Every structure is written in C-alpha cells, then in structure tokens.
C-alpha cells in the first residue's frame, strides 16, 4: 500500500507535511500505507516558502497508489490549469480510490471533475471562489463525502488525516497515531485577527 502526496512548485509546505507526518506515524507504528511524494518529474520541487523536496514518484508511476492527497497553496490556481495533473487526479479518483485535498487543493480536484455533485471544504479565503464554480462548500475543518475527503486551510489537513485514519482503520489506530505524533492541540485562540474577516463558519464559532 502506498499513499501518494502530490507536490508541485509553490505548494504550501504544511499542506503536505502535516498529513505526511500522520501517514508516516501510521506506516511506522500501525501498518498503514507508505507515504510517497508524487511530482511531475523527479527533479527537486521548491515549495511556497522556499523548502526544496525530492519526489519519490512521477505521474507515470502513480497508478499503483492506494490513496492520493492533493495539497494547496496559491500555486494550485496555476496547477489546476495543467492537464497532466488533472488527468492523473481524475484517473485515480475514477478508479474508486480515496482522494483527499487540503486547502486550495480542492481547485485541482474541481478542475479534474472530481467535485461534481460532491460536498467539499477549502481555505476560508477561497470559499466564495469555489462556490462560484458550482461546488457545495461546507464551512468546516474537513468534509467527508464517499471516497472524497477535503479540508480547510493548511493545518486543517492534520485533523482531516487523523479522521481519515479513524475511518479507514478504526479509532484505536487513529489514537495510536495521535499519541505518537503528540498531536493534542491546546485549543487556545490568539487575539482577534479573525474578527471582521469572512472566515469559515467553524472559525466564527471559536
């Protein structure tokens, strides 16, 4: 079993690093799928904040993946126009395999036709844009719709991944992953930057 995580120039680091950590703990401690980075070419990929990472697979090697995660970032709005990425995502989802996205990765899914008739979550700054494309956007930390999982922005991918693990392998496995990652957010909300912004409903409840 291999869990593919798409990367591309300008991808937001935590969008894929957070889920990568959860999948890595799942693989190491509970027999989960092996996380693999997937890119257009085997060349190093420079991310949104300058980190450079090496892919494990190219798109041509993606057909054997059991799951696929599509992260976001501002660059997703360029990548959604690239037919090689949308074709790969469409092929994976069309095979009935679980497909996940973080943040604006939903726009790559939308361009691939994956979100037709589906509910999805995305970054709070992109909610209206996604709705304008005809998608039913759920303003929550993450949304599960059949074999499709989508999350809000950046850090929300960690919560989505734990929920996915619980769904795929059970509460006990997700509990073990959460403990090994020591992911127990304290729940503190700093300041009032969110006040007066068009935030997602779940942020407004904080």
Around Cβ 88, how many Cβ atoms within 10 Å? Answer: 25
pLDDT in tens, 68-91: 999 999 999 999 999 999 999 999
By the 10 Å C-beta count (0-12 exposed, 13-18 middle, 19+ buried), 169 is classed as middle
Around Cβ 132, how many Cβ atoms within 10 Å? Answer: 9
Q: What percent of the chain has pLDDT over 70?
A: 100
pTM value > 0.95:
yes
**pLDDT at residue number 154:** 96
**pLDDT at residue number 102:** 98
pLDDT in tens, 118-132: 999 999 999 999 999
**pLDDT at residue number 180:** 97
**pLDDT at residue number 176:** 98
pLDDT in tens, 19-53: 999 999 999 999 999 999 999 999 999 999 999 99
């Amino acid at each position: 079993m291999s869990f593919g995580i798409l990367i591309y120039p300008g991808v937001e680091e935590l969008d894929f690093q957070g889920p990568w950590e959860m999948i890595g703990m799942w693989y190491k401690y509970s027999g989960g799928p092996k996380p693999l980075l997937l890119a257009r070419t085997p060349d190093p990929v420079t991310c949104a904040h300058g980190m450079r990472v090496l892919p494990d697979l190219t798109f041509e090697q993606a057909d054997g993946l059991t799951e696929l995660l599509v992260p976001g970032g501002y660059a997703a709005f360029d990548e959604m126009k690239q037919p090689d990425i949308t074709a790969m995502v469409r092929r994976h989802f069309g095979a009935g395999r679980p497909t996940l996205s973080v943040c604006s990765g939903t726009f790559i899914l939308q361009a691939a036709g994956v979100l037709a008739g589906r509910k999805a979550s995305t970054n709070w700054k992109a909610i209206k844009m996604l709705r304008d494309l005809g998608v039913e956007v759920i303003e929550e930390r993450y949304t599960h719709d059949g074999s499709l999982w989508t999350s809000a922005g950046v850090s929300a991918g960690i919560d989505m991944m734990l929920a996915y693990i619980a769904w795929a392998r059970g509460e006990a496995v997700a509990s073990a992953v959460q403990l090994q990652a020591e992911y127990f957010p304290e729940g503190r909300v700093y300041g009032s930057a969110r006040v007066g912004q068009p935030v997602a409903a779940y942020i407004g409840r904080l």
